[in-house]
């Protein structure tokens, strides 16, 4: 398996010669098993270890391009693939409100391309509490105006739900 170079030299009756080199690929379509590990959901940031296999017999020069469904990619080579059993990816953004993500691996050699996908990958975002007040100094018996700046996150099925509990420390 691999890539070889074939050099052909032609010599004409007049004594002139010409060399041409051809790249010959002795390989078939590349293989990969790119799986979903189960439990491929959770809140950001989350690292998911995707199982990979069936790559060891691919030819030198084979490339693996992983597209994670979140706009990022990772490229690996055959040297990596000869011993790999997982490829981790950390998701830092929610998949909501759009729903589940699909990750894919495109395997390329000189002869062909193989694409494997895994679905669903559900990435949720927790709620981020936020509150501001209008005044930097507040005196006793003075009215306080608070603004709720909470960013409501996403849970399972991309549902937004947040319960608010206000505790001002004075029993009210």
Cα distance between residue 50 and residue 108, in whole Å: 19
Global confidence as pTM: 0.78
* pLDDT the model gives residue 24: 79
* pLDDT the model gives residue 46: 95
* pLDDT the model gives residue 169: 79
* pLDDT the model gives residue 2: 67
CB 101 within 8 A of CB 154: no
* pLDDT the model gives residue 34: 96
Q: What are phi and psi of 58, to 5 degrees?
A: -70, 155
CB 40 within 8 A of CB 119: no
* pLDDT the model gives residue 28: 80
* pLDDT the model gives residue 142: 82
* pLDDT the model gives residue 172: 67
Cα distance between residue 27 and residue 112, in whole Å: 9
* pLDDT the model gives residue 79: 95
How does DSSP classify residue 15?
Answer: S
Through-space distance between the first and last CA atoms of the chain, rounded to whole angstroms: 76
Buried b (16+ CB within 10 A) or exposed e, 116-146: bebeebbbbbebeeeeeeeeeeeeeeeeeee
Low-confidence ranges of the chain (pLDDT < 50): none
Strands 113-124, 101-108: pairing is: antiparallel
């Amino acid at each position: 398996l691999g890539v070889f170079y074939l050099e052909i030299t032609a010599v004409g009756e007049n004594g002139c010669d010409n060399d041409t080199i051809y790249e010959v690929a002795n390989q078939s379509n590349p293989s990969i098993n790119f799986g979903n590990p189960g439990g491929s959901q959770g809140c950001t940031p989350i690292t998911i270890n995707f199982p990979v296999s069936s790559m060891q017999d691919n030819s030198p020069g084979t490339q693996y391009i992983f597209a994670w469904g979140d706009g990022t990619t990772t490229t690996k080579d055959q040297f990596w693939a000869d011993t790999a059993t997982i490829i981790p990816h950390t998701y830092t953004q929610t998949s909501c409100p759009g729903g589940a993500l699909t990750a894919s691996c495109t395997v390329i050699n000189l002869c062909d391309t193989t694409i494997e996908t895994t679905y669903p990958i559900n990435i949720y975002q927790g709620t981020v509490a936020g509150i501001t007040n209008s005044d930097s100094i507040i005196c006793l018996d003075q009215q306080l105006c608070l603004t709720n700046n909470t960013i409501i996150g996403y849970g399972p099925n991309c549902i937004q739900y947040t319960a608010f509990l206000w505790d001002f420390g004075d029993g009210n």
